[in-house]
Structure 1
Amino acid sequence: MTFKILADSASDLPLSYYEKHEVTLLPLKVNLDGKEYEDLKTIEPTTVYNAIRSGQVPKTSQVSPALFKDVFTALAQNNEKAVYIAFSSQLSGTYQTAVMISEQVKEEYPNFDFTIIDSKCASLGAGLVVQEAVKLRDQGKDVSEIIPRLKFLCEHMEHLFTVEDLEYLAKGGRVSKASAFLGGLLNIKPLLHVEDGKLVPLEKIRGKKKLLRRMIELIEERGEKLDQQVFAISHADDEATALEVKEMIVEKFHPQDVFISSIGASVGSHTGAGTIAIFFLNKVSE
């Protein structure tokens, strides 16, 4: 293996993916009922969604600095090259902490070949970049060869998503309180996207069917060479809608593949149940 790949749990890939493809998992933390859990490892997303439905408010925290220190030091001691694809710096302090710890480790091991990429992505937006890194690594590419490609994907990754209630994102500071003034009024659904790593409300649409059709329209407007792409859909305890959206995407764009995964406990603590997110590229290559 030419280099190691690291990813945090906010990339919303299944635990089995990390194990099968030898990707080092860096879990964010979820605090619920006075207990701290490791996302993906010691708490299931449905536990978070059920807690939210019952009125509880889970809290999240970034990847532990101690875990960063242990993982980075072990890589440096073994003289292993590595790349870490990190959760958007605009949504978590995880990236900044990783940079700080890596600089400390590099003081002790100045030859440590380690790159941290601020994905400016969330959920499977980052997950698709991790999958590309795995593919290129398995083709025998060196880490220095793939960094430009990974950064390109991060720059051109589109996020389109809807949540049942913007209040969860507002409570966590992910969108402004003013933007969250919607509630369930008249069945109006918020449509959001990501700009420079930040969550930004895009449109307000009445009715689920209209919302899903609008998402498909936006994919067509924003995407490039959609039949050559791998799409990703993440969902918060709503696999039925995720499958419906997949069917719409396949019928309209005939992509290479459509990958579906659950939104994990850390991201799901902020989105709440019922979230549907679609990820694709607005530009496929230079």
Structure 2
Amino acid sequence: MSQRVAVVTDSTASLPAELAAEHGVVVVPLQVIIGASAYDEGAPEATPELVAAALRAWTPVSTSRPSPELLLARYEELAAQGYEAVVSVHLSGEMSGTVESAQVAARRAPLPVAVVDSRQVGIATGYAALSAAAVAAAGGDVEAVAAAARDRAAASLSLFYVDTLEYLRRGGRIGAAAALFGGALAVKPLLQITDGKVGSLERVRTTGRALARLEDLAVQAAGEQRVEVSVAHLANPDRAADLAARLSERLGEQVVGEVAAGELGAVLGAHVGPGMIAVCVAPVP
């Protein structure tokens, strides 16, 4: 007999509410703190525009993980709904304490909870959660559902361009990039998520060259595979739309659905700053 397994993720997974609901994925919010005000990500007040404006004005901006109590409440609700296990898929534990909160909550949960550290951020975590949900819907047990999330996340490539490393430096998320770039903040850095951390990829002198390089690297990553591709930005809609259009043209029928282009959520946006462009390429299992 198949297990009834629920899938939980967090708001940094960048899943639109209607898509998460369609696939039965439960989303738990992180918080963004702007000045003295705290907002749940996804709340009407916590807009990317508000975050971008605060960062430009040097208003203090920080983020906060969900508490173990909040995650435990979700796990308890799912148990009450008749689920027999949960797979909880979250952004990299190297960059957030969300995984740790989930692990603490899992130990107190009334049903088995497998916590998956996606070692990713943004929609790459979202794709992992959706793959997990597909296996759960097909009757997979908790081990198969968790494995689907891990495999999808590991196969995905997350690349991004930032106007400046200053915001990553402020938040302590710059990782290995600091060693390469040091104080050379005038360059246009290309970064990638490597083993759960922000890692340096290349440095480029102009924005145009940086975005052209992002495009080439995304096409290279896709190879001959069928892929899902997403472009995200913070306060840079025109360039994001242009990149999405070029990727759609170059990858053609390899892309499942459309190359999506949308604004990054408030929590991740707080750490990368205005002007950021990201692309995720996720091979389809």
Q: TM-score, normalised by structure 1?
A: 0.87
Mapped to 2, the partners of 1:74 and 1:251 lie a distance apart of 44
Q: Does 1:248 align with 2:251?
A: no
Indicate which of 59, 62, 87 corresponds to 1:59. Answer: 62
Indicate which of 43, 46, 51 corresponds to 2:49. Answer: 46
Mapped to 1, the partners of 2:262 and 2:75 lie a distance apart of 28
Counterparts of 1:133-172 in structure 2, within 5 Å, are 133-139=132-138, 141-172=140-171
**Can you give the 5+ residue segments of structure 2 that lack an aligned partner in the other structure?**
none
What code does the residue aligned with 2:42 have? L
Indicate which of 227, 239, 247 corresponds to 1:229. Answer: 227
Q: Secondary structure at the match of 1:18?
A: helix
Counterpart contact for 2:228–2:284, Cα < 8 Å: no
- Residues 205-257 of structure 1 show CA distances to partners (whole Å, capped at 9, x for unaligned) of 1112211221122224333434x111111111222111111111112111223
Mapped to 2, the partners of 1:68 and 1:256 lie a distance apart of 32
How many residues are aligned here? 275
Mapped to 1, the partners of 2:281 and 2:188 lie a distance apart of 21
- Residues 20-61 of structure 1 show CA distances to partners (whole Å, capped at 9, x for unaligned) of 443212111111121111111251121111111122120111
Mapped to 2, the partners of 1:181 and 1:284 lie a distance apart of 39
Shift of 1:141: 4.7
Give the share of equivalent positions with the same residue, in percent.
26
What code does the residue aligned with 1:263 have? L
**Mean Cα deviation higher: 62-71 or 138-147:** 138-147
**Can you give the 5+ residue segments of structure 1 that lack an aligned partner in the other structure?**
none
What code does the residue aligned with 1:86 have? H
Counterpart contact for 2:33–2:63, Cα < 8 Å: yes
Counterparts of 1:1-286 in structure 2, within 5 Å, are 2-41=4-43, 42-80=45-83, 81-105=85-109, 109=110, 112-139=111-138, 141-176=140-175, 177-178=178-179, 179=181, 181-183=183-185, 185=186, 188-226=187-225, 228-254=226-252, 255-257=255-257, 258-281=259-282
- Residues 105-142 of structure 1 show CA distances to partners (whole Å, capped at 9, x for unaligned) of 2xxx3xx1322111001011112222323444445555
Mapped to 2, the partners of 1:223 and 1:250 lie a distance apart of 12
Counterpart contact for 2:75–2:86, Cα < 8 Å: no
**Mean Cα deviation higher: 69-78 or 85-94:** 69-78
Mapped to 1, the partners of 2:127 and 2:69 lie a distance apart of 27
Q: TM-score, normalised by structure 2?
A: 0.88
